[in-house]
Amino acid sequence: MREALLLLRDYEQSGQGWFWSTDAQGRVAYISDCVAKAMGVTGGLTGRPFASLFNLERDQDDAVERTLPLILSGHKTFSGLALRAAIDGDEVWWSISGRPQFSGSGDFTGYRGNGADITQSRRSQRDASRLAEYDSLTGLSNRHRMSTRLASTLTAYKAAKRSCAVMMIDLDRFKQVNDTLGHPVGDELLKQVADRLRRVLDDGWEIGRLGGDEFQVMLPDIDDRGKLGEVARKVIAIVSQPYSVEGSRCVIGASVGVAIAPYDGITSEELTRGADLALYAAKEGGRGQFRFYSTDLHSEAERRRRIEEDLRDAVAKGQISLAYQPLVDPVKNRVVGVEAVMRWLHPDLGEVSPGVFIPIAEETNLIVALGDWALKRACEDATRLPGNVRVAVNISPAQFANVNLPASVMQALALSGLPPERLELEVTESIFIGDSDRTDAMFTALKQLGVRLALDDFGTGYSSLGYLRKAPFDKIKIDKTFIRGVTEPGNRNGAIIKAIVSLADALDMDTTAEGIEAHDELDVMRDLKVKQVQGFIYSRPMALAEVLDAVSNGEWVIEPNGPSKSRAERITLLRKIGLIHEDFRYEATMRNLSRTGCLIEGLLDVPVRTQFVVDFGNGQLAVATVRRATGSQQGLEFEVPLVDDGAGGLVTRNRISPYVLAAAGMPLAALPAGEYPLGPPSANAATSFTMPKFAQMNEAGRKALRPQGRQSDT
C-alpha cells in the first residue's frame, strides 16, 4: 500500500497528471498541489465547488456547458472531458475523468478522479484546424472555407428565399510590386491589404483570400446594386491608398466583380463563375473599376479574346491611328496644345475603345511597341501644326520603366525634327512604384532632352505631394472626377481644384482641367484660374485632317459649345425596350439614358404624366412618368434613380426575384436574358379585354396595328 502511494505521489510531482476527489455536495475534498499552483491559489482549493475550477461560460460550446453539470448532478462516470481552467489571462486546458463513489448502503459520497494538462495538444488541434480553413499569410478564410461557407449559405438561403452577393477582388499592379521589390515585400503588402479589407467591410461579411492577389467577400442578404456599388467603390478606394512596406512606398489598385444570388446564380459554382466573369470585365475595362455580372459578359469575354488576338497585327495593318483633342486656354479660347489619343478601327468589331485595348496591350507586353509607335507618329504629325501648339503623348508605366525610353524619345524627335519643348509626356503616379532611384534617373534623362512632363489624373490615385516636390513636372492634369458636381451647392470639388491650382502656381506648373462639358463648369475653371481646359465643350478628339484644316488660317481659336449647365451624364444609345401600361406591353426605342430618366421613341399621342413600367430586360423594371412628349418621342423620369454599373453604364437597383418568377410558374434559375411578366396571368383575362390606349410605330416609322397584350408575354 505504501509503495502504491509513493508511486502516485511521484506521478503527481512529475506534472504528467493529477488527482482529485469531492464530497457529496460537489466540494473539493482533495486535489493535487500542482492544480492550486497552476491557478495561483495559496492555501489550497479544499472546500471549493469542483465545477468552479473550470470556465464553463467562455470559449466553450453549448454541449460542454451542459455536459459537466449534468454529469455531476447525475452521478455518472465520465472520461476525457476537455474543459478550460478558470485561470485569468493564460489559456489552460485540462482533460478530466471521474467515477462516482457510494457508501455500503448505496448513498452517493462524492467523486474520485484524475486530470491531465492538454493545453499543448489543444493548441496543436486548433492550429491544424485553422490551417485547414484559414490563410496562413493574412489570417483570412482560405479558398476551401469560402467555398464551403458559400455552398452551405446558398443552400439555406434558397430554402428561405434570401439573397446573397459575392464580391471578387483582384489587385491591380501587384505583380509589378513583386517583380520590382521582391516577394517578401509582396507578402507584407498582402497582409496590409487584408487589414484594410477588415476595416472597411462589415463584421458579418466573410472575407477570404483565394490565393495570390485574389480575394473574395460574401455579403448575405444584400441585392441592392446601389449599395453593392458603394461597397465596391470603398474597397477600390481603400486598397488604392499608398502603402509603406520596409521603407518602400507602394501604390496598387483593385478591380471588383459582383454577382448576386438568386439573380445571377442559384448554386455556389454559378455565383462564383459570374463574379469571376464580372471581375474579368472590370479589369478589361481599364482596372480600378467594378462590374456587376450580366448575361452580356459572356459575349464580351469572347470579344475580348478576339481583340487580344488581333491587336498584335493592328498597327502593321494600319488599323490604329491617332486622334487629337485640343487643350485650350479658357480665357482666350485659344488652342495651346493637343493630346494624342489612340483609335482602333477594327474591320469586324468597329471602333474599339482605348479603355479596352490599352489594358490588353499592357497585359500582353505589347504596350511598349504600341507606345513607341504612337510617340513617333505624334511627333511627326505635330511638325505640321503651328509652332505654338504642343503635342501631349501618354507614357504607360511599362514604357517609363523601360531603360530605352529616353532613346526612343530622342529618336522620335530626331526623325520628325520636332523641337523637344513642343513634346509633353503624360505619366500617372503608378510610375512611382518600385525603385525610386531608377525613377529619378529616368526623370533626369527625359528632362535633359528638353521635353515637358505632366502628371495625369492627379487626385485619383492618392497622389503624394512628395512626387511634386521631387519630380520635375511642368503640368498637373486635374482629373474629371473633380469636375463632376463642381457647380452643385455644397460640393467641395471647387475648393480642392482651387488648392491644386494654388499649389501648381507655387511650383511654377501649369494646370489642365479634364472633362469640361458645360458652360457653368467652364466658368468655374476660369474663376479658379485653371490655365488649360480639355473637354467636349471645346472639342472631341479630332482626326489629323480636321486639325490641319482648323489651323490652316493661323491661330486656332475654338468657341465653347455645350449645355449651359452641367447635368446628369446622359448615355447616347439605340436600344429596344419594353413599356408596360395597364394590360399591354409596347415596344419602343431608347435613345439616351441618365440616372433619372430616358428619351424614348415609338409611341404616338402619349399624354404628359402617363406612367409606364420600363422593362430594360434581364429582370430590370423601372416605374417612370412621362414629363414631356413630342410626336413619337417622350422624355421619362424614373421614380427611383438608376445606379452606376461600374463601367459607365446604368442599371436598376433591384431586379425581379427568381423566387417571384418561380411563384408565377417559371422554373427557379438565374435570370436569363429576355423579358419577364410582372406576375401570373389574370384569372379573368379572357373576359376583361381592354383596348390599348396608345398607337405604336413600327420599324419603318408607320403606325402599327396594336401592341401586344401583357397577358401573352412569357
What pTM, to 2 d.p., does this model score? 0.64
pLDDT (0 to 100) of residue 713: 39
Q: For 541-600, how does the pLDDT look when each residue is reduced to its tens digit (9 = 90+)?
A: 999 999 999 998 878 999 999 888 876 566 777 888 999 998 888 999 999 998 899 999
258 neighbors 274 (Cβ within 8 angstroms): no
The answer as to whether 351 is a domain residue is yes
What percent of the chain is modeled with pLDDT above 90?
Answer: 50
Q: For 199-251, how does the pLDDT look when each residue is reduced to its tens digit (9 = 90+)?
A: 999 888 999 999 999 999 999 999 999 999 999 999 999 998 888 888 777 88
CA distance 247 to 435: 11
Q: Which residues lie below 8 Å from residue 346, measured CB to CB, with a gap of 6+? A: 307, 310, 314, 319, 352
Which grid coordinates belong to 204?
Answer: 458579418
The answer as to whether 308 is a domain residue is no
Location of C-alpha cell 501587384: 174
- 3-class secondary structure, 584: strand
Note whether 162 and 183 are same-domain residues: yes
Final residue before a domain boundary, out of 256, 278, 294: 294
pLDDT at 39 over 90: no
**Which 3-state string (H, E, C) describes 240-261?**
HCCEEECCEEECCEEEEEEEEE
Note whether 34 and 114 are same-domain residues: yes
CA distance 34 to 45: 11
Note whether 373 and 508 are same-domain residues: yes
Q: Calculate the alpha carbon distances from 88 to 55, 69, 84, 118 in Å.
A: 10, 22, 11, 17
CATH number of the domain encompassing residue 468: 3.20.20.450
Note whether 281 and 138 are same-domain residues: yes
The answer as to whether 383 is a domain residue is yes
Phi, psi angle pair for 464, to nearest 5°? -95, 140
pLDDT category at 307 given cuts 50, 70, 90 is confident
pLDDT (0 to 100) of residue 625: 96
The answer as to whether 530 is a domain residue is yes
Residue type, 369: A
pLDDT at 402 over 60: yes
The answer as to whether 301 is a domain residue is no
CA distance 275 to 291: 9
Structurally, how many domains does the chain consist of? 4
Segment holding 612, helix H or strand E: strand 611-617
Instruction: Could you list the beta-strand ranges (E) of 32-122.
Output: 78-84, 93-102, 108-117
CA distance 533 to 328: 5
The DSSP call for residue 399 is: H
Note whether 534 and 647 are same-domain residues: no
Which grid coordinates belong to 447?
Answer: 528632362
The answer as to whether 261 is a domain residue is yes
Residue 618: exposed, middle, or buried by beta-carbon count in 10 A (0-12, 13-18, 19+)? buried
Residue-range definition of the domain harbouring residue 287: 134-294
CA distance 32 to 12: 7
524 neighbors 482 (Cβ within 8 angstroms): no
CA distance 539 to 552: 17
CA distance 311 to 294: 26
Rg (CA), the chain: 35
Averaged pLDDT score across all residues of the chain: 86
Q: For 672-705, how does the pLDDT look when each residue is reduced to its tens digit (9 = 90+)?
A: 666 555 444 444 444 445 677 888 776 555 555 4
Residue type, 458: F
Which grid coordinates belong to 513?
Answer: 482641367
Note whether 149 and 228 are same-domain residues: yes
CATH number of the domain encompassing residue 701: 2.40.10
Nearest residue to 483 via CA among 492, 475, 474, 473: 492
pLDDT at 25 over 70: yes
Residue type, 414: A
pLDDT (0 to 100) of residue 373: 95
Note whether 74 and 96 are same-domain residues: yes
332 neighbors 526 (Cβ within 8 angstroms): no
Which grid coordinates belong to 306?
Answer: 478576339
Sheet holding 290-292, edge to edge: 206-211, 214-220, 164-172, 253-261, 290-292
CA distance 602 to 606: 10
pLDDT (0 to 100) of residue 170: 95
Note whether 464 and 345 are same-domain residues: yes
CATH number of the domain encompassing residue 254: 3.30.70.270
Note whether 481 and 390 are same-domain residues: yes
Q: How many CA atoms lie within 13 A of 527 on its CB side?
A: 11
pLDDT (0 to 100) of residue 679: 43
Q: Calculate the alpha carbon distances from 558 to 331, 410, 534 in Å.
A: 11, 32, 12
The answer as to whether 300 is a domain residue is no
Q: For 296-305, how does the pLDDT look when each residue is reduced to its tens digit (9 = 90+)?
A: 887 777 777 8
pLDDT category at 712 given cuts 50, 70, 90 is very low
CATH number of the domain encompassing residue 42: 3.30.450.20
Note whether 535 and 404 are same-domain residues: yes
Bigger pLDDT: 134 or 5? 134
pLDDT (0 to 100) of residue 6: 67
Which grid coordinates belong to 677?
Answer: 411578366
pLDDT at 468 over 70: yes
Which grid coordinates belong to 263?
Answer: 439573380
Which grid coordinates belong to 220?
Answer: 448575405
CA distance 602 to 695: 9
- 3-class secondary structure, 280: helix
Note whether 537 and 613 are same-domain residues: no
pLDDT at 500 over 80: yes
Note whether 59 and 110 are same-domain residues: yes
Residue type, 339: E
Cβ atoms within 10 A of the Cβ of 239, count? Answer: 23
Q: For 508-547, how does the pLDDT look when each residue is reduced to its tens digit (9 = 90+)?
A: 999 999 989 899 999 999 999 999 999 999 999 999 999 9
The answer as to whether 500 is a domain residue is yes
Select the highest-mean-pLDDT range: 49-53, 362-366, 431-435: 49-53
Nearest residue to 96 via CA among 112, 115, 113, 120: 115
